C-alpha cells in the first residue's frame, strides 16, 4: 500500500475551559482577603481598572417584611446582575438592595430570611443565642463593633521568632555562635521545643557538639522560660531552675516521667525519698508550670481569620450579608478607555487596549457573580440550619452539598468551591461554611437523622458529667446514645471520642482517681 498525502475533515466535540472561565472559578475559590490581593495585582497591571473610593452612604437596614422593595439598582441597565439578585427570592428569603447607578457597588448584597416563626430571641435555656449588641445600626456596618475594631486590625504584635532574635542579637557577640542560635530558633516547633536528632543538627551546622551544647545552654536562659527545651522534662527543669526549685528530689521526679504519666505516686514517693505530702506538692508545682512556652505567641503566629459572610438576628428571622469591608470595589474606567482607544495608531496598540478592556469587564462581572453565588449559598445554609442558630449544636441537622445545590439550582462543585476556606460570623461564633455540612447518623426510633457533629457534642457532654465511681466505657456510651434514639456503633463512638482528644475510660479513671488523691 502506497503512502500518499491526503486531507481529511473530522467533526468532534470537546470541553474547553476558557481563560475567563478559569478566572471565574479561581475567584470563586478565594476568600475575601485573597480576592482583595488578587484585585490589587490586577489594578497594578490593568490601566482600564480603577479602585472605587467613593464614600457613599450605607444602605438602609434590610427589613424582614416580605413587602420590601427588592428591585433597587434595576435602573442601572445591568440585567444579568438584577436577574441574579432576584433569583434569590426563594420561599421567605428576600434580597434587599439600594438604589444605585453604579453596577459595581458591593453594598447591593444584603439578604433577609424570615421563617415566620417566633422571634430569634425566643430560644430556650442557657443555650440561647446572644444578641448582637455591639453591631452598628446600619445593615452593612459589619466590623464597626469593638470586637472587630480598626485598632485590632492594625495592631502589630511581635512574633516569637522576632522576640528571640532580639535577645540573640544582644546576648551573642560571636558571629558563629549567633548563626547557630538563629538556626536553632528556626527549628523550634509550635510548643517552643527543639525536635529532631541533635547530632544531625551539629553535622548540618559543621560544629562540635560541645559548642552546640554551650550555645543551647545560653539560649535556654532566654525569655519565655522553658524555651529551647528538647523535651517536656527539660522544659520544666529550665523553669524550676529559674525559680531555684530544681533540687535533687525534683530532678529525680523529672527523670521518671513515665511513672508520672501513669500516676504511680507511691513509687515516685519512694524513688524521690520524700513522703506522700511532699510528692503531692512537687507534682502540683510541676502542673503549675508553663507546658508550652510558645503559647503566649500563638495568636501572633496564627493567621487572623476574617469572615466573608456576616449573619445576625433581625426580627423573627436572620440577616445574611457579605462582609463589605473586605470586598474589593473596582470600576471600569470608561473615560480613560475612550480617550486611549481614540488615540491608538497601530494594530498592536488597539489589540492591547481591547484585551485590557475585555479583561477588566470580565473581572468586574466575575466579582459580581462570585458575590451573588456566595450569598445564595450562605443564605440557604442559614435557612437549612435555622434550629442550630436558635437552639444550639444539638439541633445541627445533617447536611450535604447536594441539599444546598438542589435548593439554589447550582452544581455541587460550585457549592464546594464557595464553602471552601470561607467563614461566616454568627451569633454563635465564627464558623467555616463547611462546618455546617455533616454526615447523618440514623435514628433508632425512626425519627429524623442526627448530625455527626451534634452526636460528637453529646458524647463530650456525657463524658464531662461522668462520676469518678462510674466512668463511661465506649460500650456504655453506645447504650446511652441508643436510649436517646441515636443508632451508633461502638467504633464510631471511639472515633468521635478520639477526635475530641478524650482518653479511654481506663485512662480517665486513673486520672480522676489520682486527682482525688492530690486534693
Model confidence pLDDT, tens digit, residues 411-458: 999 999 999 889 999 988 888 898 898 877 777 666 667 888 888 888
> Which pLDDT does position 1 carry in this prediction?
56
- The answer to whether 412 and 402 are in contact (CB under 8 A) is yes
Q: Are residues 379 and 459 in the same domain?
A: no
Reference 394, options 438, 445, 433; nearest CA is 438
Instruction: List the domain range (segments joined by +) for residue 486.
Output: 440-518
Which residues have CB under 8 Å from 87's CB, separation 6+? 376
Instruction: Using pLDDT thresholds of 50, 70 and 90, give the confidence band for residue 80.
Output: very low
Query: Does residue 430 lie in a domain region?
Result: no
Please provide the DSSP assignment of 393-438 as one string: GGGPPP--HHHHHHHHT--HHHHHHHHTT-EEEETTEEEEGGGG--
For residues 273 and 347, membership in a common domain is answered with no
Q: Interhelix angle for 175-186 vs 209-219, to 10°?
A: 70
For residue 142, is it within any domain? yes
Tell me the CA distances in angstroms from 127 to 190, 353, 392, 465, one per residue in order: 34, 59, 6, 17
Comparing 1-5, 176-180, 210-214, 357-361, the range with the smallest average pLDDT is: 1-5
Query: Per the structure, how many domains does the chain have?
Result: 3
Rounded average pLDDT over 149-173:
69
Q: Are residues 397 and 489 in the same domain?
A: no
Same domain (yes/no): 124, 174: no
Residues 31, 303: Cα–Cα separation, whole Å? 13
Angle between helices 505-518 and 276-287 (to 10 degrees): 110
Backbone angles phi, psi at 84, to 5 degrees: -65, -40
Distances from the Cα of 66 to the Cα of 116, 139, 157, angstroms: 10, 17, 47
Task: Round to whole Å and give the CA distance between 519 and 514.
Answer: 9
Any domain includes 141: yes
Which helix (H) or strand (E) segment holds residue 330: the answer is strand 330-332
* Inside any domain, residue 491: yes
Model confidence over 485-514: pLDDT tens digits?
888 888 889 888 888 888 888 888 877 776
Q: Are 212 and 340 part of one and the same domain?
A: no
* pLDDT for the residue numbered 309: 92
Query: Do 452 and 410 belong together in one domain?
Result: no
pLDDT of residue 404: 93
Burial class (CB in 10 A: 0-12, 13-18, 19+), 458: buried
CATH code of 444's domain: 1.10.10.60
pTM for the model stands at 0.53
Share of the chain above pLDDT 70, in %: 76
The span from the CA of 373 to the CA of 448, in Å, is 29
pLDDT (0 to 100) of residue 398? 87
pLDDT, tens digit (0-9, with 9 covering 90-100), for 249-278:
888 888 888 887 777 788 888 888 888 877
The cell numbers describing 203, all together, are 553535622
User: Within this chain, do residues 178 and 104 fall inside the same structural domain, yes or no?
Assistant: no
- Domain annotation covers residue 204: yes
Taking residue 81's Cβ as centre, other Cβ atoms within 10 Å add up to 21
- Most distant CA pair in the chain, distance: 103
Provide the pLDDT for residue 517: 62
pLDDT of 154 over the 80 cut: no
Q: Is 330 contained in some domain?
A: yes
C-alpha cell at position 286:
510541676
Q: How many alpha carbons fall within 13 Å on the CB side of residue 93?
A: 24
- CB contact set of 242 (below 8 Å; sequence gap of 6+): 225
Which pLDDT belongs to residue 518?
A: 59
Going by pLDDT thresholds of 50, 70 and 90, the confidence category of residue 321 is: very high
Rounded-to-integer distance, Cα 65 and Cα 457, Å: 35
Identify whether 310 is part of a domain.
no
DSSP assignments along 241-256, one per residue:
HHTT---HHHHHHHTT
Which pLDDT band, with edges at 50, 70 and 90, does 384 fall under? very high
Residue among 404, 400, 412 nearest 383 (CA): 404
Length of the chain: 519
Closest C-alpha to 369, from 24, 2, 39: 24
Amino acid at each position: 500500500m502506497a503512502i500518499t498525502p491526503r486531507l481529511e475533515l473530522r467533526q468532534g466535540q470537546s470541553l474547553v475551559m476558557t481563560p475567563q472561565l478559569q478566572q471565574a472559578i479561581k475567584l470563586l475559590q478565594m476568600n475575601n482577603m485573597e480576592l482583595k490581593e488578587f484585585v490589587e495585582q490586577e489594578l497594578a497591571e490593568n490601566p482600564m481598572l480603577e479602585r472605587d473610593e467613593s464614600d457613599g452612604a450605607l444602605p438602609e437596614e434590610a427589613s424582614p417584611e416580605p413587602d420590601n422593595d427588592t428591585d433597587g439598582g434595576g435602573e442601572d441597565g445591568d440585567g444579568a446582575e438584577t436577574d441574579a439578585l432576584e433569583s434569590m427570592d426563594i420561599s421567605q428569603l428576600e434580597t434587599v438592595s439600594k438604589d444605585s447607578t453604579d453596577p459595581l457597588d458591593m453594598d447591593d448584597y444584603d439578604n433577609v430570611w424570615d421563617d415566620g416563626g417566633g422571634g430569634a430571641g425566643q430560644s430556650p435555656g442557657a443555650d440561647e443565642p446572644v444578641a448582637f449588641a455591639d453591631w452598628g445600626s446600619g445593615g452593612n456596618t459589619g466590623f464597626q463593633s469593638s470586637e472587630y475594631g480598626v485598632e485590632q486590625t492594625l495592631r502589630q504584635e511581635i512574633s516569637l521568632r522576632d522576640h528571640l532574635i532580639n535577645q540573640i542579637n544582644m546576648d551573642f557577640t560571636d558571629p558563629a555562635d549567633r548563626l547557630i542560635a538563629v538556626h536553632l530558633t528556626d527549628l523550634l516547633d509550635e510548643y517552643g521545643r527543639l525536635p529532631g536528632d541533635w547530632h544531625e543538627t551539629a553535622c548540618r551546622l559543621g560544629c562540635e557538639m560541645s559548642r552546640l551544647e554551650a550555645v543551647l545552654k545560653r539560649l535556654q536562659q532566654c525569655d519565655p522560660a522553658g524555651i529551647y527545651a528538647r523535651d517536656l522534662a527539660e522544659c520544666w527543669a529550665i523553669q524550676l531552675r529559674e525559680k531555684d526549685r530544681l533540687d535533687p528530689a525534683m530532678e529525680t521526679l523529672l527523670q521518671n516521667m513515665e511513672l508520672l504519666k501513669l500516676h504511680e505516686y507511691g513509687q515516685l514517693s519512694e524513688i524521690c525519698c520524700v513522703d506522700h505530702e511532699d510528692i503531692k506538692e512537687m507534682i502540683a508545682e510541676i502542673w503549675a508550670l508553663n507546658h508550652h512556652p510558645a503559647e503566649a505567641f500563638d495568636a501572633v503566629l496564627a493567621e487572623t481569620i476574617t469572615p466573608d459572610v456576616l449573619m445576625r438576628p433581625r426580627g423573627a428571622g436572620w440577616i445574611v450579608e457579605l462582609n463589605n469591608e473586605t470586598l474589593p470595589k473596582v470600576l471600569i474606567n470608561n473615560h480613560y478607555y475612550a480617550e486611549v482607544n481614540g488615540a491608538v495608531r497601530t494594530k498592536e496598540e488597539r489589540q492591547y487596549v481591547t484585551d485590557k478592556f475585555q479583561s477588566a469587564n470580565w473581572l468586574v462581572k466575575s466579582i459580581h457573580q462570585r458575590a451573588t453565588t456566595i450569598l445564595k449559598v450562605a443564605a440557604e445554609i442559614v435557612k437549612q440550619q435555622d434550629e442550630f442558630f436558635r437552639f444550639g449544636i444539638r439541633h445541627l441537622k445533617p447536611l450535604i452539598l447536594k441539599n444546598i445545590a438542589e435548593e439554589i439550582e447550582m452544581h455541587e462543585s460550585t457549592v464546594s468551591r464557595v464553602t471552601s476556606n470561607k467563614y461566616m460570623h454568627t451569633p454563635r461564633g465564627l464558623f467555616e461554611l463547611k462546618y455546617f455540612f455533616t454526615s447523618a447518623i440514623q435514628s433508632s426510633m425512626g425519627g429524623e437523622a442526627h448530625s455527626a457533629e451534634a452526636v460528637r457534642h453529646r458524647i463530650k457532654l456525657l463524658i464531662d458529667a461522668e462520676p469518678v465511681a462510674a466512668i463511661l466505657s465506649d460500650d456504655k456510651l453506645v447504650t446511652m446514645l441508643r436510649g436517646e434514639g441515636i443508632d451508633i456503633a461502638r467504633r464510631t463512638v471511639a472515633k468521635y471520642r478520639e477526635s475530641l482528644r478524650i482518653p479511654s475510660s481506663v485512662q480517665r479513671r486513673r486520672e480522676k482517681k489520682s486527682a482525688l488523691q492530690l486534693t
